[in-house]
């Protein structure tokens, strides 16, 4: 479960830890998709299609981003 | 009620007394119990009288005599002690204070107090089913060198902690030795050497009533001073932290205020320290609607208290610097007459 809540200024906040993050548009999109329960493969596919990018390139970026989310305690 | 409160320091290393007093000021007569005429809380207009107390190391008789004198002078009915170094005396003699002097307290028993000592924390954490960092109790610098240079149990950085006060992160042996002497020269032994756990520091301030958690708030410190004292903080909702607080109170049958210091990486919580008293940021709880000092007074008076475990999330605590200009004769008076 992704606990992060995102406000109108794209600040992501984790209520149980009191930590805040400034998100860019893509980060926000990925977190919202994770909150919807989408898998990494689904997120990669959706982003690759939307931004017209090679899925391999998107896969590397999404994997890297999700590793960071784990380090920050945003996802388990 | 006429209530004595200790811990009046309010510098960059504030004690809890001023925060406790702010929660009780409107309804009660407050007596300041100070150890040093320089403590800013003496001069903040919170206390109707202030008395210098003998240092706890002077012994129990001096301590009881002083409280008896203050009782005679002011009609003191209760004391809320807030300093680690004096708690042992108050806890040990809590029944005697009530019976012989008519001074109420609301404190844990000696065995409850000892169960959460830093050196015994790992055992308590295990009983609570929670992780805690590896901690070693040291009485000599040789032990420290042996552990850090020759052993593989601990890797740098490590925390060097006093039994009551002070904690420093050491990145190498030289720093660890420096902190060992810095803390032991001021606060004595043992010195504790603790594994550093990475994650976010979160804290829970709670109040136990004979084994039942009756109030509390969870916070995260957003910014701190060099020695880890909060500048800004935020209320958090952390069900795991609340569960831990409940279990700690139930398991130890805790009575009185306490602060859990934990580290969370989002997956699990590590228990770092349990302070057996209010923290200096206690007024944060009062300001978000959980007036724990008032609950302590209600419990001391034998009243039923409604549990207050709900509070608004994302409320921000901001500590700031303030000044008071007063007459130097007040300082001279408390220095010479030991009361004001």
CA atoms in the 13 A half-sphere facing the CB of A52: 0
Tell the burial category of B253 from Cβ atoms under 10 Å away from its Cβ (0-12, 13-18, 19+).
middle
B224 touching A, CB under 8 A? no
Among B59, B84, B55, B68, which residue's Cα sits nearest to residue B4? B68
Residue B189 has pLDDT above 80, yes or no: yes
Does the structure show a pLDDT above 90 at B268? no
Please report which helix (H) or strand (E) contains residue B337, including its range.
helix B328-337
Q: Which SS3 state, helix, strand or coil, does residue B245 take?
A: helix
The secondary structure of residue B57, as a DSSP letter, is: G
More confident residue, B149 or B310: B310
**Per-residue model confidence (pLDDT) at position A66:** 94
Q: Which of A17, A20, A24, A23 is nearest to B238 (CA)?
A: A17
Quick: pLDDT tens for B63-76: 999 999 999 999 99
Pairing of strands A11-14, B230-236: unpaired
pLDDT of residue B281: 97
Q: What share of chain B is helix, strand, coil (3-state, %, to 5)?
A: 35, 25, 35
Q: What percent of chain A has pLDDT over 90?
A: 84
pLDDT band at B197 (very low <50, low <70, confident <90, very high): confident
Which domains are seen in chain B, by residue range? 2-106+323-337 (3.40.50.20), 134-195 (3.30.1490.20), 199-318 (3.30.470.20)
pLDDT more than 90, % of chain B: 81
Which residues from A are below 8 Å from B200, CB to CB? 17-19, 73
How many angstroms from the chain centroid is the CA of residue B205?
10
Give the per-residue pLDDT at B227.
80
Of the candidates A15, A19, A76, the beta carbon closest to that of B200 is on A19
**Dihedral, CA of residue B242, residue B247, residue B252 and residue B253, to nearest 10:** 80
Q: Which residues contact A54 (CB under 8 A, 6 or more apart)?
A: A48
Domains of chain A and any CATH numbers = 5-71 (1.10.10.1150)
Taking Cα atoms as reference points, which of B269, B240, B252, B260 lies closest to residue B132? B269
**pLDDT for res B209:** 97
Q: Which of B239, B264, B314 sits opposite A17 (nearest CB)?
A: B264
Residue range B105-153, pLDDT digits in tens: 999 999 999 999 888 888 999 999 999 988 888 999 999 998 888 877 8
Question: Could B238 and A17 be called an inter-chain contact, meaning their C-beta atoms sit closer than 8 Å?
Answer: yes
β-pairing, A19-22 vs B212-224, is unpaired
Residues of B in contact with A72 (CB under 8 A): 266
Q: Band the pLDDT of A1: cuts 50, 70, 90.
A: low
Q: State yes or no: pLDDT of B96 exceeds 90.
A: yes
Whether B276 contacts B84, CB under 8 Å: yes
Give the minimum alpha-carbon distance from B221 to chain A in angstroms, rounded to a whole number: 8
Whether B313 sits inside 8 A of A73 (CB atoms) is no
What is the structure's pLDDT at A73?
81
Q: Which of B241, B163, B155 is nearest to B198 (CA)?
A: B155
B window 227-286, beta carbon within 8 A of A: 233-241, 264-267
pLDDT at B176 over 90: yes
User: Ramachandran region of residue B295, left (φ > 0), alpha (ψ -120 to 50) or beta?
Assistant: alpha
Question: According to the model, what pLDDT value does residue B198 have?
Answer: 82
Residue B65, classified by CB atoms within 10 Å of its CB into exposed (0-12), middle (13-18) or buried (19+), is exposed
- pLDDT (0 to 100) of residue B265: 81
Q: Do A13 and B222 touch (CB under 8 A)?
A: no
- The mean predicted confidence, pLDDT, of chain B is 94
pLDDT tens digits for range A30-67: 999 999 999 999 999 999 999 999 999 999 999 999 99
Distance from C-alpha of B286 to C-alpha of B308, rounded to nearest angstrom:
11
Tell me which DSSP letter residue B16 carries.
S
């Amino acid at each position: 479960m992704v606990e992060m809540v995102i406000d109108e200024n794209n600040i992501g906040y984790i209520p149980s830890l009191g930590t805040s993050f400034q998100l860019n548009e893509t980060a926000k999109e990925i977190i919202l998709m994770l909150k919807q329960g989408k898998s990494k493969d689904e997120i990669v596919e959706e982003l690759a299609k939307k931004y017209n990018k090679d899925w391999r390139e998107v896969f590397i970026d999404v994997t890297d981003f999700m590793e960071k989310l784990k380090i920050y305690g945003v996802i388990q | 009620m006429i209530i004595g409160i200790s811990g009046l320091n309010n510098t960059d290393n504030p004690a809890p007394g001023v925060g406790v007093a702010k929660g009780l000021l409107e309804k009660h007569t407050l007596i300041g119990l100070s150890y040093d005429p320089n403590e800013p809380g003496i001069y903040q207009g919170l206390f109707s009288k202030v008395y210098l107390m003998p240092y706890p190391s002077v012994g129990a008789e001096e301590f009881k005599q002083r409280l008896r004198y203050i009782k005679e002078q002011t009609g003191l009915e209760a004391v809320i002690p807030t300093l680690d170094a004096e708690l042992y005396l108050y806890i040990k003699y809590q029944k005697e204070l009530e019976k012989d002097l008519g001074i109420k307290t609301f404190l844990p028993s000696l065995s409850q107090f000892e169960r959460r000592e830093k050196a015994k924390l790992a055992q308590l954490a295990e009983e609570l089913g929670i992780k805690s960092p590896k901690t070693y109790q040291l009485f000599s610098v040789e032990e420290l060198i042996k552990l850090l240079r020759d052993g593989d149990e601990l890797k740098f950085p490590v925390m060097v902690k006093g039994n009551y006060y002070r904690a420093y992160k050491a990145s190498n042996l030289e720093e660890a030795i420096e902190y060992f002497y810095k803390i032991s020269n001021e606060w004595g032994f043992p010195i504790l050497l603790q594994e550093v756990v990475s994650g976010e520091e979160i804290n829970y301030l709670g109040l136990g009533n004979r084994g039942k958690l009756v109030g509390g708030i969870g916070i995260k410190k957003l910014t701190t001073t060099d020695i880890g004292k909060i500048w800004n903080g935020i209320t958090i909702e952390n069900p795991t932290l609340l569960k831990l607080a409940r279990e700690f109170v139930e398991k130890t049958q805790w009575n009185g205020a306490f602060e859990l210091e934990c580290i969370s990486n989002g997956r699990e919580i590590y228990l770092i320290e349990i302070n057996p008293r209010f923290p200096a940021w206690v007024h944060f709880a009062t300001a978000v609607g959980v007036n724990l000092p008032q609950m302590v007074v209600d419990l001391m008076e034998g009243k039923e208290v409604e549990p207050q475990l709900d509070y608004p999330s994302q409320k921000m605590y901001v500590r700031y610097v303030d000044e008071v200009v007063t007459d130097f004769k007040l300082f001279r008076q408390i220095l010479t007459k030991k009361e004001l």
